[in-house]
Amino acid sequence: MSKIKFIAATILLAAATAAHAADTATPLPGDKGMASVNKNLEKDPDNKGLQNAAAQHEKNRIKHQEQAEKRSEKKEKHMENRAERAESRGERHDTGGRPAKVERPGK
């Protein structure tokens, strides 16, 4: 009897995990707040505070998108510079005719 319960619990756990993993929609910052403001605007469309909040949410969303684009551009440029530096370092490190370091036993 306990084996059957264990198998049933395992199947339920696997199904719940699969259902949770299937939810791939990642909420963006501000989505929950904007949904709440929009819901309240439907109830009271003449509310100046809610209209202001909706406008601020939109401005912030645009600002965050612009900042994310700048960050990605900056990161791309940084990665390109790193690659260039790595290439130049490979050319720069010449032993100058020195012998390789001798391995000494016991050290």
Per-residue pLDDT of the chain (107 residues; tens, 9 = 90+): 577 777 777 877 777 776 666 666 777 777 888 899 999 999 998 999 999 999 999 999 999 999 999 999 999 999 999 888 887 776 555 566 667 777 888 76
User: Structure tokens of 79?
Assistant: 């990665």
Q: pTM of the entire structure? A: 0.50
The packing angle between helices 48-92 and 31-43, to 10°, is 160
Q: Is residue 3 one of the residues assigned to a domain?
A: no
CB 33 within 8 A of CB 55: no
Q: Is residue 98 one of the residues assigned to a domain?
A: no
The range of the structural domain enclosing residue 48 comes to 30-89
Q: Is residue 45 one of the residues assigned to a domain?
A: yes
Q: Is residue 46 one of the residues assigned to a domain?
A: yes
Domain tally, the chain:
1
